[in-house]
Chains A and B, each alone.
Chain A
Amino acid sequence: MAFAAPKESYSGKVYEVSIGTDKTAVFGGENVLPFHSFEGSTPNRPLIAYEIQDVPPDDWVENVKKVYADVSKDPVTWAKYCQDTLKARAIALRLVGTHPDRENRSAEDAAKTVREVLDAISVPLIILGSNNAEKDASVLVAASGAAKGKNCIIGKAQEANYKTIAAAAMANNHKMAAMSELDINLSKQLNILITQMGFEKERLVTDPMCSALGYGLEYTYSVMERIRLAALTQNDATMQPPLLGDVGMYVWKLKETQASEADLPMWGALEQRGIAWETITAGALLVAGAELLIMRHPEAVRAVEKFIEELI
């Protein structure tokens, strides 16, 4: 008798989320564990968004900075470069310059940047704050208004500021990313609180908080994996929004992506090492359940796209 591979069937399904208006991007929608297409349906590839920011990336490491050296002085040129030259399917604009400890740009300035970037690109935009809960509440409200009707993802809403951000995302018809701090139960709780405000769960993206290889990746991996299992095997609607892995910013601040070959010859070539670090972190999170990644280095993005191609 011929061998028949055992197949799991799942009771739940991840919500399919579509972003953008001109060239849209769709992710999620599967009713199986990541890359288990042989057991059911995986209608969409995971989506990788290129990370750019509202201020020049002076704090980025040299090996990533040099890739964008000619374009990163202003976010519009940078965004166009990602779209036109790197063929980005989506762009994530981080308004890091609004952080009170950085340039402390105003919400109005941030909104202006958002408007200019949106006017210049046709791929979908993800709009991220500076991760200062208080400042983000005002910045993301302004940014959300500036992007009205453009079907962006606004984020990240956290326990301390979700009410304001969710209200703005709802009023301007955006999707929203909600982040909790590496705790599956708190992640579920935040999604419940947000939906109790009237925000539709089908418009949410869950960020369980990223961590990089060597710096707690296994925690993010485990939380993502358990969220996916709750979504699929327990049909838990609060855990069915797609998952976000905000990979680039966590990877490119590590010693492993910064220490020179002269100092640590046994670690090998710095540039390849950094790219590999971002690739492996991103790849691991895809296997754990992430449907949306935010990344920095084009080589790493290419490697992960290839990885997806082979597994999907």
Chain B
Amino acid sequence: MLIIGEKLSIIAKRVREAMMKKDKGPIQEIAVRQWKEGSGMIDANIGPAEDGGEDLMQWMVTTIQEVVPLPVCLDSTNFSAVEAGLKVHNNEWGRALMNSTSNDPERYPMIEIAAKYNARIIGLTVGKGGLPADAEERAGIAAEIMARAMEFGLPLEDLFLDPLVLQVSTSQDHANHVIKAVRMFQEMNDPPMKTVVGLSNISNGCPKALRPILNKHYFVLLKNAGLTSAIADAHEMAEAMQEKQVIDDVLSGKKIADEQKMKEILKTNDIIMNKTLYAHSYLEM
């Protein structure tokens, strides 16, 4: 399982300020921490970056790779910023991953750039027409993106399919659709297609104390479904790997000594599998 460290995002105030001031300190500190905690790649999310995106992405890539021997996930909707990032990316520690293309024709140039620079790319299984309704629709869109990749000469091994994780607090039925989609994606090619998710979106909008519980549980279920990579908090995912055995045991019907933990696992599983209606206080019920 490849963990793509998620913490370097323009959405975070501290990171945004560092990006604006081109202050390497905080960026490198966060990158190093994510690496030490087990990230195999670092996500550099600079947002739409309409002005000066090229410079910013190049600065991010070199700043990260100065201190961390890992490839970078170039996360922006700005094509030329991503392309600029690829030009300076050091492939010594692995090839870059672009985030992302989709089944929207406006996003196809990203695939061309990936092919041109021998980079890897995330294919978000959404089209122009809005969110996919279920796993089958996600698989249908995935097939379209795979066809585009082949047209542009991008090897399917370099395409990471992303089923689009939605918030469990507002789109509860999608949590299980995504798990199902991860299974379906793998069957669409031999060797199986690679998969990736933006994991922590599952708990977006939930109370702070619930977020790690939902993230970790969801991670275990996705891992069991064969997920190959996740943009996630490496620290949290390391904890999830430690808890995985317990979660698997409880879900297979075993009783554990820690009753509190057992209830937490069973209730969280019912929420993710859409067997109990989500409410912020679901653990207290």
Number of interface residues of A (CB under 8 A): 15
Tell whether A196 pairs with B281 under 8 Å between CB atoms, given A185-B169, A185-B170.
Answer: yes
Q: Mark B274-285, 1 if CB is under 8 A from A, else 0.
A: 011111110011
Q: Is A192 an interface residue, CB under 8 A from the partner? A: yes
Q: Which residues of B contact A193 (CB under 8 A)?
A: 281
Q: Which of A92-100, A231-239, A297-305 is the interface stretch?
A: A231-239
User: Which positions 148-176 of chain B face chain A at CB distance < 8 Å?
Assistant: 169-170, 172
Indicate if the CB atoms of A189 and B275 lie closer than 8 Å.
no
Does A184 interact with chain B (Cβ within 8 Å)? yes
Q: Residue A150 at the B interface, CB < 8 A? A: no
What is the distance, in angstroms, from B155's C-beta to the closest C-beta of chain A? 42
List residues of chain A with CB within 8 A of the CB of B279: 185-186, 188-189, 192, 238
Q: How large is the interface on B (under 10, 10 to 19, 20 to 34, 35 or more residues)?
A: 10 to 19
Q: Is the CB of A185 within 8 A of B281?
A: no
Q: Which of A184, A185, A192 has the most CB of B within 10 A?
A: A185
Contacts of B275 in A (CB 8 A): 234
Binary contact track B71-103/A, C-beta < 8 Å → 1, others 0: 000000000000000000000000000000000
A185–B278 touching, CB < 8 Å: yes
Query: B277 touching A184 by the CB < 8 A rule?
Result: yes
Expressed in whole angstroms, the minimum distance between the Cβ of B256 and any Cβ of chain A is: 25
A230 within 8 A of B: yes
| CB <8 Å contact, B280 and A196 | no
CB-nearest residue of chain B to A188: B279
Q: Report the minimum CB–CB distance from B171 to chain A (whole Å).
A: 10
Is A189 in contact with B285, judged by CB distance below 8 angstroms?
A: no
Question: Is there an interface contact between B276 and A189, defined as CB atoms closer than 8 Å?
Answer: no
Does the CB pair B277–A239 fall under 8 Å? yes
How many Å from the CB of A208 to the closest CB on chain B? 12
CA A238 – CA B169 in complex, angstroms? 16
Interface of A: prevailing SS: helix
Is A238 a contact of B285 with CB atoms below 8 Å? yes
Of B276, B277, B278, the most chain A CB neighbours within 10 A belong to B277
Do A234 and B277 contact each other (CB < 8 Å), given the known contacts A185-B169, A185-B170? yes
- Chain B, residue nearest A192 (CB): B281
In the complex, what's the smallest C-beta–C-beta distance from A10 to chain B, in angstroms? 15
Q: Are B277 and A185 in contact (CB under 8 A)?
A: yes
* Closest A residue, CB atoms, query B270: A234
| B276 contacts across to A, CB distance below 8 A | 234, 236
CB–CB A230/B277 < 8 A: yes
CA–CA, A183 and B277, complex, Å: 12
Question: How many whole Å from B111's CB to the nearest CB in chain A?
Answer: 37
Is A192 in contact with B284, judged by CB distance below 8 angstroms? yes
Q: Mark A141-153, 1 if CB is under 8 A from B, else 0.
A: 0000000000000
Which residues of chain B come closer than 8 Å to A184, judged between CB atoms? 277
How far is A181 from B62 in the complex, measured between Cα atoms in Å?
A: 48
Q: Mark A57-98, 1 if CB is under 8 A from B, else 0.
A: 000000000000000000000000000000000000000000
State A247–B179 Cα separation when bound (angstroms): 40
Q: Chain B nearest CB: distance from A240 CB in Å?
A: 12
- Asked if A188 and B277 make an inter-chain contact with CB atoms under 8 angstroms apart, the answer reads yes
Nearest-neighbour CB distance to chain B for A133, whole angstroms, equals 19
* 8 A Cβ contacts from A204-231 to B: 226, 230
B284 to nearest A CB, angstroms? Answer: 7
Chain A nearest Cβ from B275, distance in angstroms? 7
Question: In the assembled complex, how far is the CB of residue B166 from the closest CB belonging to chain A, in whole angstroms?
Answer: 13
Name the residue on B nearest A229 (C-beta): B277
Q: Which residues of B contact A234 (CB under 8 A)?
A: 275-277
Cα separation A189 to B276 with both chains bound (whole Å): 13
Given A185-B279, A234-B277, A238-B279, A196-B170 contact (CB < 8 Å) = no
Give the Cβ gap from A195 to chain B, nearest Cβ, in Å.
Answer: 9
CB contacts (< 8 Å) of B277 on chain A: these are: 184-185, 188, 226, 230, 234, 236, 238-239
What residues on A are CB-neighbors of B172 within 8 Å?
A: 185
**A residues in contact with B284, CB < 8 Å:** 192, 196
25 A-B pairs whose Cβ atoms sit less than 8 Å apart in the complex: A183-B170, A184-B277, A185-B172, A185-B279, A185-B280, A186-B279, A188-B277, A188-B278, A188-B279, A189-B279, A189-B280, A189-B281, A192-B281, A192-B284, A192-B285, A193-B281, A196-B281, A196-B284, A230-B277, A234-B275, A234-B276, A234-B277, A236-B277, A238-B277, A239-B277
Q: A188-B278, A189-B279, A192-B284 are known contacts; what are 12 more A-B pairs with Cβ within 8 Å?
A: A183-B170, A185-B170, A185-B172, A185-B279, A188-B279, A189-B280, A189-B281, A192-B281, A192-B285, A234-B276, A238-B277, A238-B279
- Per CB-CB distance, the 6 closest pairs between chain A and chain B, nearest first, are A188-B279, A189-B279, A230-B277, A192-B281, A189-B280, A185-B278
